[in-house]
Structure 1
């Protein structure tokens, strides 16, 4: 019996490790720290390789017509607006809340939780769905012929990553920080990214709702994890599990000695609640990371779209400066060889001498970053919602 229980525990541990590796590989496999590692290779397989092999298999077995049908479905799901992920979100929220209510509400009120948490849980989920709908169906800041001049005044060109030009699709001037979304087929002011979960772009007007959505759902996961943990702790108290283990079974009253037996008892009696708690904890950590990333962007007044633009610009500038430094070093070397005899450096000094390429520094000059208070205000109160923006629009008309 003991061997069987230990085998089940090892299976759960291995399952958890494999799940963690897959999740980290899928979400973080492109990070520089994982470059050249098996994490990056798993990420490539999950995001491209597996699908590519699947298409080849379908083409070899069923022919090109079936492959084209799959590509048509891919185009609808990934390249056109569709509500599939919105429906999936509602299903995840609904199913998770159903399992929580079905498995946990029977123990409320309990030793640590009062009956009010039945209604609090429903309220926080309702607010989360409201934020989801608000982000999904709000205008992200669509740029059109009527407001393009006001957006140009609101976001001046920095002549670094943005310069004056026309949108080739909309045939109107393209304001700085805007981008034409190929999925929604519109120009969006202060474009951040197109969110499939919202079936909407995240831009100048609805970034505040998107940030509130992420933060609130992170808090929902924390609340759910803590609440289920308190329910399980209450069950331990109700059944006096600690007293039974220490008094009747002679187990020492220490965390290291009691923990394996307590976990074994909880897994045997409340496995559904533990799975829900682990699920909420993992989702909460993912949401915390995603919210932290976007909060950092908001504090520096940068968007996801601009992050990639700055990376390309900085890399180009670095290569340009390195080329200039290399050319200058080669010129000095040639002039030194043709001039009078120079004092020789020792081999050790030559070996440890710093390369001139190490002095190459590229500085990011973000003219839109005006201090974190101003940056936060710009997210909370977008330019297009302010009276000055509306007043200017009325004057011009």
Structure 2
């Protein structure tokens, strides 16, 4: 049963990763992978709405639309609660399965306390990011934000937010989910249920860095626990002396892995869970660190991509109707960023949920 738990967990994570991050690639065009990617990044609600509409009529379709609107287009604590479920589930799984092996040959007793403190610090950083002001633009501070960055005449021109009825500072954006303008808007984070902007980006980066370190730390501690148990039970000596296994890493590894899988499957599952999260979070943190170092926001990356596509369209089009477009006058109208960010963020969130659920189910 332990073998199947590990196999199911690995399969779920690998398939979910390919679907979420590779499903839009041209190589998967017209394949089930592309369809599943569309489903995971927003199409599932469209399909559900059509199905319910056929079965229950307009009233049922309205209910599904309302649920989608609340879950995807309005501030809600769903992913915040799920974060605490995953954090608490992983911590108590570690306490219940691995605390008994601390201290060990490679693990000091200090890790009993250091692990708990690390989890608490991670939760505090999460709450700090969730509850801090992202840089809300109001009538009292809009003048300060207007002088913070210059207008570039391409992505940002002098204009007024039609919803807030306030002048829109450069690099700001009106978040349709929160219903407010945010200075130096980066993105709306569903996990923290708030926007990431000028004032809370530092907390968000600290949150990402700490959770990368936390997952890597947990991976190291569990690996050290398992290695310590292998040493305490003289497994290598037993395999080589009594069973005649050649004393080389290549020959011993399959037998050691089978033994660990048979007697320490819970630790192995937790190790895989934390290891995969470490890779995902490290990649996400590295991407955002790159954006910080290059002084660009997530929102601006998509705006620039949209602008480049528009410029390519203008340069490749024929006829005076298109080529006579005045870039300085119309660039801001043409560079309306498509809602690709939401799809990718929903894909990343779906992957995080899939990893979490597979861990909770298999654990």
Q: Normalising by structure 2, what TM-score?
A: 0.82
Q: Specify the alignment match of 1:216 in structure 2.
A: 210
SS in 2 for 1:194: strand
Q: 1:225 aligns with which of 211, 219, 223?
A: 219
Q: 2:132–2:200: 8 Å Cα contact kept in structure 1?
A: yes
1:36-93 Cα shifts (integer Å, max 9, x gaps): 7664343123334443333333223333323322221221121111111111111111
Residue number in structure 1 paired with 2:345: none
Using the TM superposition, give the Cα deviation of residue 31 of structure 1 relative to its aligned residue in structure 2, in angstroms: 5.7
What RMSD in Å do the two structures reach over aligned CA positions? 2.2
Is 2:160 the partner of 1:166?
yes
The residue aligned with 2:275 is 281
Which residue among 93, 98, 109 is the counterpart of 2:92?
98
Q: Distance in 1 between matches of 2:211 and 2:9?
A: 26
Counterpart pick for 1:303 among 278, 297, 302: 297
Shift of residue 109 of structure 1? Answer: 0.3
Instruction: Confirm or deny that 1:57 pairs with 2:40.
Output: no
1:343 — aligned with what? Answer: none
SS in 2 for 1:142: coil
Q: State the alpha-carbon separation in 1 of the partners of residues 7 and 83 from structure 2.
A: 28
Alpha-carbon separation, structure 2, partners of 1:203 and 1:35: 35
Match for residue 247 of structure 2? 253
Q: 2:232 aligns with which of 230, 235, 238?
A: 238
**Is 11-20 or 279-288 further displaced after alignment?**
11-20
Tell me, yes or no, if the aligned pair for 2:3 and 2:261 is still in contact at 8 Å.
Answer: no
Count residues in correspondence. 320
- Paired residues of 2:45 and 2:68 also in contact (CA < 8 A): no
Which residue of 2 is the match for residue 125 of structure 1? Answer: 119
Q: CA deviation at 1:116?
A: 0.5
Q: Do the aligned partners of residues 40 and 293 (structure 1) sit closer, same or farther apart at CA in structure 2, a change above 3 Å counting? A: farther
Question: Given the alignment of the two structures, is residue 25 of structure 1 paired with residue 9 of structure 2, yes or no?
Answer: no
Q: 1:46 to 1:219 in 2, by over 3 A?
A: same
| Contact residue 22 and residue 42 of structure 1 kept, 8 A | no
Instruction: Name 2:196's counterpart in structure 1.
Output: 202
Partner of 2:136: 142
In the alignment, the residues of structure 2 paired with residue 83 and residue 20 of structure 1 have an alpha-carbon distance, to the nearest angstrom, of 28
Larger mean CA deviation between 313-322 and 231-240 belongs to 313-322
- What stretches of structure 1 of length at least 5 have no aligned partner? 328-397
Give the Cα separation in 1 of the matches to 2:10 and 2:260.
Answer: 17
**Aligned partners of 2:182, 2:50: CA distance in 1, in Å?**
37
Query: Is the partner of 2:188 in helix, strand or coil?
Result: strand
Shift of 1:28: 4.3
CA distance in 2, matches of 1:281, 1:11: 16
The structure, 1 or 2, with the larger RCO (C-alpha pairs under 8 Å, 6+ apart) is 2
Deviations 1:123-143 (A, max 9, x none): 111110111011000000011
Determine if the alignment matches structure 1 residue 186 to structure 2 residue 175. Answer: no
Unaligned runs of 5+ in 2: 321-363
Larger Rg: 1
Shift of 1:181: 0.9
- The answer to which of 71-80 and 236-245 deviates more is 71-80
Q: Which position in structure 1 is the counterpart of 2:324?
A: none
Q: Deviations over 1:246-275 (max 9, x none)?
A: 110111111221111111111110111100
Distance, in Å, in 2 between the alignment partners of 1:140 and 1:111 is 46
Residue 146 of structure 2 is matched in structure 1 by 152
| Most deviating of 56-65 and 186-195 | 56-65
Q: CA deviation at 1:35?
A: 6.1
> Residue 338 of structure 2 corresponds to which residue in structure 1?
none
Q: Give the whole-Å Cα distance in 2 for the aligned partners of 1:108 and 1:15.
A: 26
Q: Deviations over 1:209-239 (max 9, x none)?
A: 1011111101100000110000000000111
Corresponding residue to 2:77 among 77, 80, 83: 83
Distance 1:291 1:233, change over 3 A: same
Distance 1:310 1:31, change over 3 A: farther
**For 2:285, which of 283, 286, 291 is the aligned residue?**
291
CA contact (8 A) 1:214 1:291 kept: yes
TM-score by length of 1: 0.76
